[in-house]
Amino acid sequence: MSERLDRDERDVDGTSTANADEPLVTVEDLEKHYYENDSLLDRLSGRDPTAVRAVDGVNFTVERGETLGLVGESGCGKSTTGETLLGLREATAGTVRFDGEPVAGLSGDDEKAFRRRAGIVFQDPFSSLDPRQTVGEIVREPLDVHGIDTREEREERVADRLERVGLSAAQRERYPHEFSGGQRQRVGIARALALDPEFVVLDEPVSALDVSVQAQILNLLGDLQDEFDLTYLFIAHDLSVVRHISDRVAVMYLGEVAEIGPVEAIFERPGHPYTQALLESVPRANTAERDREVEALAGDVPSPRDPPSGCRFHTRCPHAREACREEDPERFDAGSGHEAACFRAVDEHAYWESAPLESPEERAQATESDLGERDERTADEPSA
């Protein structure tokens, strides 16, 4: 039995649409909104639904054979982006193309062909595995669903995938609760590789693991990428992890991509103040920097129900000016595939002539002062 499916025979009509000059994945203006107050009772009562803009106009590509890291704070829309581009969540708007073909609306044989070419490794190695199935059944299930090979050949493939991820074929009769967290994540990786995909979304695959285990899983993912010629979308919030494994990095903030570029450019020459703040918060091992002061971002992350006008980061940005509040910046070219959605990346722009806004610290102090005055007035009011 061939250990790898023939990728040129995966299309429904028996032909390959692969074009090595085009990105494997293209995401254009992708949006995913969730709606509140949208029940039948709300509609009958005339209440307008409220949109939670989890993903709001995301654009990027993933080249064949590369690892694109997708980073940002919790709640910025990273995981929703990954699940939506795979069709696990229905997009509100925008287009996702895989190998040049739209993903939305796939059904029947076309959808099954896409599912064979794209997989996912979920964040939680505990809840993502069915506790009622053995490890062998979990890894074999995609092969059963797609009717790949005979039962004996499927068992051979299961044993091969378990061994490829550092487990033993003899362990396939065990249940998930008999494994550690790192071993369970290896099972999830083996399941994702069962159909020999070309593209894998790695949704924070090491965030729930111990640091020592994280390094093992990251090295394993690198080895598997070389062995299986894989393309990764690596979602994480740990920048040190992203730097270790990624070729390019996209930084998300409040549902949008604030900056994207080669990993060296992002880490050595960040063009967006949000990226600079994220990098500044990364712990350093250099003893010479032991006493350095880390300036944490002031203010709270705005609500995706009501995002700020203009640049969404202007409410927390130390360099914000009036232009940032009035105009939403596009991603400006910083050279060599490096783009940043910040007016400071452009030498000639109205931003430089506009008035500076209050700093986030001043706004926070003003808010605290207002709250203190309100509390004093409340305390002085006579009780009823």
Q: What is the pLDDT of residue 3?
A: 44
**137: helix, coil or strand?**
helix
295-313, pLDDT tens digit by residue?
A: 777 778 899 999 999 999 9
Nearest to 320 by CA among 350, 355, 348: 355
Tell me 178's DSSP state.
G
Considering the domain delimited by 7-246, tell me its CATH architecture. Answer: 3-Layer(aba) Sandwich (3.40)
Q: SS3 for 270-315, per residue? A: CCCHHHHHHHHCCCCCCHHHCCCCCCCCCCCCCCCCCCCCCCCCCC
What are the residue ranges in the chain where pLDDT is below 70? 1-19, 285-294, 360-384
- Domain ranges in the chain are 7-246, 266-284+297-379
Q: What is the pLDDT of residue 1?
A: 39
324-334, pLDDT tens digit by residue?
A: 999 999 999 99
Angle of CA points 123, 117, 66, to nearest 5°: 70
Structure-token pair, residue 134: 């053995």
Angle of CA points 279, 231, 119, to nearest 5°: 105
Nearest-Å Rg of the Cα atoms of the chain is 24
pTM of the model: 0.86
Q: What is the pLDDT of residue 49?
A: 84
Q: What is the pLDDT of residue 384?
A: 44
289 phi, psi to nearest 5 deg:
-105, 20
